[in-house]
Homo-oligomer: A and B are copies of this chain.
Amino acid sequence: MTRRSIKVFAPATVANVVCGFDVLGFAVDQPGDEVIMRLSDKPGVSLLKITGDGGKLPLNPEKNTVSAIAREYLGHIGRPEVGVEIELHKKMPIGSGLGSSSASTVAGLFAINSLMDSPLNNKELVPFAMKGEELACGYGHADNVAPALMGGFVLIRSYSPLDIISLPFPADLHAAIVYPEVDVPTKDARQMIRSKVFLKDAVTQWGNVAGLVSGLFMNDYELIGRSMTDVLVEPTRSILIPDFYKLRSQAMKAGAVGFGISGSGPSVFALTKDKETALQITASLQHHLKNISINSLAFVSEVNKKGPVILD
């Protein structure tokens, strides 16, 4: 083994990308989480500490996704005897709709895989990371973990069998993300969604999904923007986000390519053609939220091209 310890960053992610519920997601350069992992002579996976979570995450190594999935991974590669010590440093808000659990799980998985001399590639790690999502959110979706592992824009064409496609995107594409500090647990946000929908609305939705994918391949910002429409999920989920339609209107006026809810919210995001517009949008949205007495965090970055990276 080449290393005894490692520090890994894994990125936050924007799942759904408005129209692509459960099938599209992309990674951003910031925020994200960090995991420090050390091999130990004492067998078993232990969780030494968690910082930045405000006491919200379980320190029990069987319940915490990072340690639980590391153990699952070691069993899978036939190395259950390996001893590992883990530190999780949350650098992003929990329950924000930015793939917080995904960033932690992916950082941990990438770390343990690297310590084991990378027997699996990042795409092969996706099913393990999905188990982490199931543990954290009650639902093993891939639209956060796949882009967190692979970077860029990702399509989950199929869940059964799992079929993941990396999509191209315009080189200058930026994301402006604002997290209004209100509470929207993923489980509740999912339960709000109806299990049956009108076929005509589904047709509208897959027209937009096809349009968004085409726009990404064609580097066509206009088409990307026109396609960022969600007639099925956003009308319900937006109820949980303060002044959602006012925020959209401000973002679009400020030059956003498109705007919507990140994952199950409450974070919102805009895609832009440059960093300057992204900064103007976050400033404008944060100003609006402050006026209605809601604290917020903002993040501006390019679309992440790397997935998880080794920091140390």
A275 to chain B minimum Cβ distance, whole angstroms, is 27
Min distance, Cβ A17 to any Cβ of chain B, angstroms = 11
Residue A41 is within 8 A (CB to CB) of chain B in the complex: no
Contacts A157-B226, A157-B227, A211-B165 given: A199-B206 contact, CB under 8 Å? no
CB of A209 within 8 A of CB of B209, answer yes
| Chain B residue with the shortest CB-CB distance to A217 | B217
- Copies of this chain, tallied across the complex: 2
Does A205 count as interface, using CB distance less than 8 angstroms?
A: yes
Q: Which residues of B contact A196 (CB under 8 A)?
A: 196-199
Contact assessment for A210 and B209 in the assembled complex, using a CB-CB cutoff below 8 Å: yes
Number of interface residues of A (CB under 8 A): 39
B24 & A210 in contact (Cβ 8 Å cutoff): yes
Within 8 A of B (CB), among A198-237: 198-200, 202-211, 213-214, 217, 223, 226-227, 232
11 additional contacts, CB 8 Å, given A165-B223, A202-B202, A206-B209?
A156-B207, A157-B210, A157-B227, A159-B207, A193-B199, A194-B199, A195-B199, A196-B197, A196-B198, A197-B202, A202-B232
Which residues in A have some Cβ–Cβ distance to B below 8 Å?
A: 19-24, 155-159, 163, 165, 167, 193-200, 202-211, 213-214, 217, 223, 226-227, 232
Between A and B, 13 residue pairs with Cβ closer than 8 Å are A22-B207, A23-B206, A23-B207, A23-B210, A155-B210, A155-B214, A157-B223, A158-B211, A167-B214, A193-B199, A196-B197, A197-B199, A206-B209
